[in-house]
Every structure is written in C-alpha cells, then in structure tokens.
Structure 1
Amino acid sequence: MKPAAFEYHAPVDPEETVALLARLGDEAKVLAGGQSLVPMLALRLAAFGHLVDLRRVKGLPGIEHRGGVVRIGATTTQAAVERSDVVRDAAPLLARATPLIGHFQIRSRGTVGGSLAHADAAAEYPAVALTLDARLETLSPRGRRTVPADRFFTGTWSTDLAEDELLTAVALPVWHRPRGFAVAEFARRSGDFALAGATVAVGLGPDRRIDRCAIAVFGLGPVPCRARAAERELIGREPTTEAAGDIADLAVSGLDSVPADLHGSAGYRKRVGAAMVARAWRHAVREAVHD
C-alpha cells in the first residue's frame, strides 16, 4: 500500500521546526529516521496532512561527553551510537542495548530521538533512558525545557511532548566506578521486538556495597517501568548473584498492566520478564565486582 497524501516540509533549524509545528498543529508529524512511522503510513495505520523531516535541521545530531554527562542529539543515528567510543566508555548500557534494535539496516536510519519520542513499550532506548535517569531536552515556541525520563513516557506511543514541541537531545549521567550494566531481552527471532526485557545498572561504594541500583523492565506494560521496591531492598547490600531469582520476582511483582496477545499470556510475559531481570542482574553484578 501507499501512504495517504501529505505535504512535505524540510526545515533547516530547530526554531523554524517548532514554529512550523505550532502553525500546523495536530495535522503535522515529525519524521526522524522513519523506521516506525513510514511503515505505519504505508499500511495506513496512521495518516497526517504534513510531515516535518528533521534530516536537514542543524544542531540535532552529535555525541559529546562533558561535565559528567553524555549528551546525544535527537537525530543521531543508532548506528552512530553503536560505533561511538564515547558511548561505549561513558554510557555502556546504551551501547549494549543498541545492537538489539532491529537489524543494522534499521539502525543505520533509526535515530535516538525517534525511538524515544515514538515511545514503544517494547523498545530498548526508553528503558535505558529510564534506568540511567536520563533527562530529555526539548524545544518549543515557548522556549527550552528538560523532562526527567520517569515523566517523559506517559503511555503506549505517548510522551509528555506537546504538539509544537521538539525533542532535541537526551542527556545521560555518567555513573561512578565501580559499576556494572546489563540488558537482557527475549524475542522470538533476532531483530523482533522483545516480548519482555530488562535493563540493570549497579554502582558500588567505597565499602564495595551497593550504593546505587536501577532496574527497569520493558514490554510488560504501556511504558517501561522501574522496579523501585527491588532497588530499595538492594541498597547497602553486598553485590551477589545468589539472590537473583528473588530480586527478579520482586521486580515484576507489582506489574498490573502486562499485555496478553497471540505471543503470550500476561503470566507468561511476567515469567519471561523475571528471567530477564535475573539474567541482567547477574551480568551487571559480575561486572561491578570486577570493575
């Protein structure tokens, strides 16, 4: 099939872009990498009167590490993240999640901002942003603002962005060492969206006990979810893999919006999610202990 007719716009700077979005209102849709939007348009699962292409907008791509933060511009491709030594050294969790996104052809076009703004509940980048306490930078005709990741994702394919607001970058705080990171997910085939997944980050204090911990699950609800109760239980403990099963059970115990479909029941997804938490926890703890 072919998409419904639309008018194409190619602004060249962020201010022009948000002015265009403000003028066009809900008839406009931002086009970043297009790896999710274009298939939806082609299948006529979505239709918009105007597409605003970000490819020519200056200042949106780029990766920099400064002041204890890794800042990644919204139109930076996933392939660029995958190749980046800066990301690999300062934000390892993002580096490890990136190869799990589709196939390399998709990552060569898909963008960081596109994935975050699309807010698919089974996507890796929203879970990574939530785990690392990322801050999302935006621009609108009213000015700039910063939104914490735990307030950015509001529902399935839904975010805190206003109609005239553009996601410009994501800022990821760098964790102190020793630290460990891991991502684990289960998909029926390589490149498919995950049925369930988990991201884990562990930081150790001077006494080699856990002084910082973040566990997030994705594919188990309308938005990625932090396992706050499990995190609180782990602070101050010795880093060990022995209790991985108990940690995993606690991490998924409070989930009440787990989807059920032809790929699996809600109970099945929760069991898979718990297994992914346990797997990621073991890897992250081992890395932190040896860091």
Structure 2
Amino acid sequence: MYNFEFTKPATIADAVAALGQDDAQALGGGQTLLPTMKQRLASPGTLVSLNAIPEMIGVCVNDVGEVCIGGATTHAVVAREAAASYPALAALASHIGDPAVRNRGTIGGSLANNDPSACYPAAALGSGATIKTNLRDIAADDYFQGMFETALEDGEIITEVRFPVPHKANYQKFVQPASRFALVGVFVAKYADGVRVAVTGASSEGVFRWAEAEAALSANFSKSAVEGLAAPEGAMISDLHGTAEYRAHLVKVMTGRAVAAAG
C-alpha cells in the first residue's frame, strides 16, 4: 500500500465537498477499492469514507411502503433489518460473501461499483428501485449502463436506495465457490402491473432484464411458463468457470427456481 490522505466526514455536504478535491475517491466498505489499491490498479490521493454519516445508514419503510436503505448501510444490517419488510432482499444480503464482507461492505458501494457478478444490482433492477444521490433520483432501469458502468457522475454519492415491495419475490444464486460472487444470479419480483426478472453474473454487459421471461411470467407466474422459453441470447460470459452456453442455461434454471421459491 502507498501513502494517501483519509477523511471521514459526518454529513453528506461535507462528503461532497471532500470529493471535490483533486484525486479524491469515495470509500464505502472498501471490499473492492482497497484490494484494487493494494494491487496499484487505483491510486487515489484521498479516501473519503462515507461510513460515519448517520443519514446514510439504516433501513426504514416510507409512507408509500417502499423499503428505504441508506447508501452506507452494510449487508449484515440489510439482512437483519429488512427481513420483515422485504424478505427476498434480506435473504439476498445474508448470502453476500462471508461474514467479514457482510459486516463491512455497503449497498451503496456495491451499486456504485456495479460488478457484473454482484447481487445487489439484480435486486435493484429486479425491484425497479430508485437510486437516490446527493443530486437526483435515478431509476434502476436508467442507472446500470454496462460492466462497471453506471449513471453516476464524478463526485455523486448514493445516499439511499428505495425498493418498492412486490407481492412475491425471490433471488436464486449459483455461487462461484472461490469468490462467493454469482456465477449466475436471478432476482424475480411480481408486482401488480407485471413481473420483473433481473439477471447478474451471466453477461459481459452486466446486469440485465430478461424480457421474454417477464412477459411469460406476467401471464402465468409459474415455473412451467419459463420451461418453454429459449435461454436468453446476448453477450454471455465465457471463462474457466463456465461457457457462454452454460451460463445461458443457468439463467433459465435459476429463473425457474426463483419462481418456484417465490410461489
């Protein structure tokens, strides 16, 4: 590791001001950024920790029934405090990484990084969540823009994520054992106006919605509705853990499992 400055602001306004300095980088749980720095793949001059900002920590339900999670809230807290209000989201959080990761990693950090195999992007996209920043509200459909790419601008901070609660939902993850990331993960959520299906881990373009499955499940929310579909086409990842064809097959299998578990 090299020398750098570290600051821990207590308000969002102070954090935004600190990030306005040259070569400053926001720090959530540090589960991705710190290993990257150790490998000298990133070298910010100042780290601005977001973990001491009270208004960015915690889980609540607002007056329209959305589950609202502060951007600096850890996975472990989401798993515990969202269990009653959004069980599928809490279950997803409870299986991210290992206990050390869950007690340090944050939802805002995960969404800002947008790893193509991370779990929270599937939950946000599958739920039609709203990503709130210090500047604006961004719909999940507009937020994710490719592998490690998001709609965030320089110095923009995820302050809160708001999840509309579906009638039924489930997340199924086929785990890559070494990393605990999803080789393929599928989040299925049934709302009054239709079903959303979001897939992570499978595509080199990052998290995506499987439109054909959404249409089929909106008409018939059962595992059988998925069984008749062809596996999704697209830029599937092919690596030593699985071919593109294998991942496409897993998308269909995990979607069926999620529907069965949700039902």
Same fold (TM over 0.5): yes
1:32–1:55 Cα contact (<8 Å) kept: yes
Please report how far the alpha carbon of residue 242 of structure 1 lies from its aligned counterpart in structure 2 after TM superposition: 2.5
Is the alpha carbon distance of 1:37 and 1:234 closer, same or farther for their aligned partners in structure 2, counting shifts above 3 Å?
same
Quick one: which of 72, 78, 82 aligns to 2:75? 78
2:221–2:259 Cα contact (<8 Å) kept: no
Distance 2:224 2:147 in 1: 35
For 2:238, give the aligned amino acid. A
Deviates more, 1:55-64 or 1:99-108: 55-64
Deviates more, 1:45-54 or 1:162-171: 45-54
Partner of 2:90: 95
Partner of 1:261: 239
Is the alpha carbon distance of 1:194 and 1:234 closer, same or farther for their aligned partners in structure 2, counting shifts above 3 Å?
closer
For 1:126, give the aligned amino acid. P
1:100–1:191 Cα contact (<8 Å) kept: no
Deviates more, 1:159-168 or 1:257-266: 257-266
Quick one: which of 149, 162, 183 aligns to 2:171? 183
TM-score (norm. length: structure 1): 0.84
Distance 2:127 2:213 in 1: 16
Quick one: which of 140, 145, 155 aligns to 1:154? 145
Partner of 1:216: 198
TM-score (norm. length: structure 2): 0.92
Distance 1:65 1:266 in 2: 39
Please report how far the alpha carbon of residue 261 of structure 1 lies from its aligned counterpart in structure 2 after TM superposition: 1.5
Distance 2:261 2:147 in 1: 29
Partner of 1:208: none
1:101–1:191 Cα contact (<8 Å) kept: no
Partner of 1:192: 180
Is the alpha carbon distance of 1:238 and 1:55 closer, same or farther for their aligned partners in structure 2, counting shifts above 3 Å?
closer
Please report how far the alpha carbon of residue 191 of structure 1 lies from its aligned counterpart in structure 2 after TM superposition: 5.7
Please report how far the alpha carbon of residue 98 of structure 1 lies from its aligned counterpart in structure 2 after TM superposition: 1.0
Partner of 2:226: 244
1:28–1:52 Cα contact (<8 Å) kept: yes
Distance 2:224 2:239 in 1: 33
Please report how far the alpha carbon of residue 246 of structure 1 lies from its aligned counterpart in structure 2 after TM superposition: 2.1
Whether 1:114 aligns to 2:109 is yes
Q: Deviations over 1:12-53 (max 9, x none)?
A: 2111111222232xx221111111111111122222122111
For 1:15, give the aligned amino acid. A
1:244–1:282 Cα contact (<8 Å) kept: no
Quick one: which of 36, 41, 44 aligns to 2:40? 44
Distance 1:246 1:33 in 2: 42
Deviates more, 1:118-127 or 1:40-49: 40-49
Q: Deviations over 1:175-202 (max 9, x none)?
A: 3xxx221111112427621111111112
Is the alpha carbon distance of 1:234 and 1:278 closer, same or farther for their aligned partners in structure 2, counting shifts above 3 Å?
closer
Superposition misfits of 4+ residues, deviation over 4 angstroms: none
Distance 1:258 1:4 in 2: 37
Distance 2:217 2:74 in 1: 35
The root-mean-square deviation of aligned C-alpha atoms, in Å, is 1.8
1:184–1:199 Cα contact (<8 Å) kept: yes
Is the alpha carbon distance of 1:240 and 1:194 closer, same or farther for their aligned partners in structure 2, counting shifts above 3 Å?
closer
Please report how far the alpha carbon of residue 229 of structure 1 lies from its aligned counterpart in structure 2 after TM superposition: 2.8
Please report how far the alpha carbon of residue 58 of structure 1 lies from its aligned counterpart in structure 2 after TM superposition: 3.4
Partner of 1:289: none
Instruction: Give the 3-state SS of the residue equivalent to 1:101 in structure 2.
Output: coil
Please report how far the alpha carbon of residue 215 of structure 1 lies from its aligned counterpart in structure 2 after TM superposition: 0.8
Whether 1:133 aligns to 2:124 is no
Quick one: which of 21, 36, 55 aligns to 1:23? 21
Is the alpha carbon distance of 1:188 and 1:21 closer, same or farther for their aligned partners in structure 2, counting shifts above 3 Å?
closer
1:122–1:219 Cα contact (<8 Å) kept: yes
Partner of 1:60: 56
Q: Deviations over 1:99-128 (max 9, x none)?
A: 221011110111111111111111110100
Report sequence identity in percent. 35
Instruction: Give the 3-state SS of the residue equivalent to 1:272 in structure 2.
Output: helix
Instruction: Give the 3-state SS of the residue equivalent to 1:23 in structure 2.
Output: coil
Structure 1: 5+ residue runs without aligned partners?
206-210, 287-291
